[in-house]
Structure 1
Amino acid sequence: MAVARIYQRPKNAMQSGRARTQEWVVEFAQTEPQEPDPLTGWAGHANTTSQVRMRFPTLEAAKDYAQREGHDYHVIPTPERKLKLQAYADNFR
């Protein structure tokens, strides 16, 4: 049984917009170590649940999905936004 992680995406630090920060994401933890493929040398494994990332509009919808599918889950709380209020005049003090 895969353990799901439910969280909200943080704002991208490189852009000013907050697109897709209100949706909740469900990710599954990797349960098996990756092993190198003997032919190509690429790391991988047969369990593909760690590649799945699903988005939900609300926390309740994400929890309902995890419960309905029988997955254990833990919710990572959204960090509180810290506003750094400053005036343009502060640059010249």
Structure 2
Amino acid sequence: MNKAIIYIPNKSPMQSGTARNNIWILEFITKDPTKNPLMGWESSSDTLSEIKLEFSSKELAVNYAKKRNIDFDLIEPKKRKTVKKSYADNFLK
């Protein structure tokens, strides 16, 4: 059967805000990755590896996978710890 992972993607290095941080992705795992001898690219005959489904919540992604009998691994995001700083703190020490 198909195997998938459900996760929230990381921010791009060019992104400073938190927009689109709550979108969950269901991505199928490639079964037989092979390396192209001519170009060195990784390829596969499994077309499900090209599909990435976006969901607005974790529950929707999990329900979708359960309805379609997809084995999945759920990767919970780590909570970011933000420290509030004042600009004046730069000059006090």
TM range (shorter): 0.7 to 0.9
Match of 2:69 in 1: 70
User: Given the superposition, is the C-alpha separation of residues 14 and 43 from structure 1 closer, same or farther in structure 2, using an over 3 Å criterion?
Assistant: closer
Unaligned runs of 5+ in 2: none
Once the two structures are TM-superposed, the CA of residue 13 in structure 1 deviates from its matched residue by 4.0
Match of 1:34 in 2: 34
- Return the TM-score normalized by structure 1: 0.81
| Number of positions where the alignment pairs a residue of Structure 1 with one of Structure 2 | 91
CA distance, structure 2, for counterparts of residue 9 and residue 33 of structure 1:
22
The alignment's C-alpha RMSD in Å is 1.9
- Return the TM-score normalized by structure 2: 0.81
CA distance, structure 2, for counterparts of residue 56 and residue 85 of structure 1:
31
Q: Show CA shifts across 1:4-38 (max 9, x none).
A: 1111233444322212111211111111022426x
1:87 lines up with 2:90 in the alignment: no
Percent same amino acid among aligned pairs?
35
CA distance, structure 2, for counterparts of residue 54 and residue 66 of structure 1:
11
